[in-house]
Amino acid sequence: MFVIRPVTMNDLERLEQLAALAGVGLTTLPRDRALLKKRIQKSIRSISEFADRPGGESYLFVMENTETKQVVGASGIVSKVGGFEPFYAYQIEKTVFESAAINIRKEVPILRLVEEHDGPCEVGSLFLDPAFRGDGNGRLLQLVRFLFIAEHPEAFEHTVVSEIRGIIDDNGHSPFWEALGHHFFGIDFPQADYLSVVSKKFIADLMPDHPIYIQLLPKSAQDVIGKAHKDSVMAVRNLEDEGFVFADRVDIFDAGPVITCERDQIRTVKMSRRGNVARITDAPVQSPVYMISTAGAAADFRACKSAIEVNASDGSVRLPDATAAVLDLRIGDAVRYVPLHAKERP
CATH code for the domain in which residue 312 is found: 2.40.40.20
Using DSSP bridges, classify how beta strands 121-128 and 159-163 pair: parallel, antiparallel or unpaired: parallel
Is the pLDDT at 82 greater than 70? The verdict is yes
Q: Tell me the C-alpha distance between 60 and 41, whole Å.
A: 10
Q: Is 117 a known active-site residue?
A: no
Are 261 and 283 in the same domain?
Answer: no
Q: Tell me the C-alpha distance between 272 and 342, whole Å.
A: 11
pLDDT for the residue numbered 344: 66
Of 267, 284, 311, the residue at which a domain comes to its end is: 267
Structural domain includes residue 345: no
Are 129 and 188 in the same domain?
Answer: yes
pLDDT for the residue numbered 118: 86
What is the mean pLDDT of the segment spanning 3-8? 98
Task: Round the average pLDDT of the chain to a whole number and report it.
Answer: 94
Structural domain includes residue 108: no
Are 145 and 235 in the same domain?
Answer: yes
* Domain housing 327: 272-339
pLDDT for the residue numbered 66: 97
Is the pLDDT at 58 greater than 80? The verdict is yes
151 phi, psi to nearest 5 deg:
-75, -25
Structural domain includes residue 98: no
User: Which of 98, 117, 114, 94 is closest to 106 using CA atoms?
Assistant: 98
Cβ neighbours for 34, distance < 8 A, ≥ 6 positions apart: none
Are 234 and 300 in the same domain?
Answer: no
The model's confidence at residue 47, banded by pLDDT at 50, 70 and 90, is very high
Is the pLDDT at 28 greater than 80? The verdict is no
pLDDT for the residue numbered 345: 60
Are 35 and 130 in the same domain?
Answer: yes
Is the pLDDT at 22 greater than 90? The verdict is no
What is the mean pLDDT of the segment spanning 34-62? 96
User: Which of 64, 48, 67 is closest to 15 using CA atoms?
Assistant: 64
Judged by average pLDDT, the poorest of 150-159, 272-281, 325-334, 337-346 is: 337-346
Are 155 and 288 in the same domain?
Answer: no
Structural domain includes residue 102: no
pLDDT digits (tens, 9 = 90+) for 123-169: 999 999 999 999 999 999 999 999 999 999 999 999 999 999 999 99
The count of domains in the chain is: 2
Is the pLDDT at 346 greater than 70? The verdict is no
**Global pTM?**
0.93
Are 162 and 296 in the same domain?
Answer: no
Q: Which residue has the higher pLDDT, 286 or 40?
A: 40
Other CB atoms closer than 10 Å to residue 206's CB: what's the count?
Answer: 13
User: Which CATH number fits the domain that encloses residue 66?
Assistant: 3.40.630.30
Catalytic residue among 152, 158, 173, 229: 229
Are 251 and 333 in the same domain?
Answer: no
Is the pLDDT at 249 greater than 80? The verdict is yes
Structural domain includes residue 303: yes
Are 208 and 292 in the same domain?
Answer: no
Structural domain includes residue 301: yes
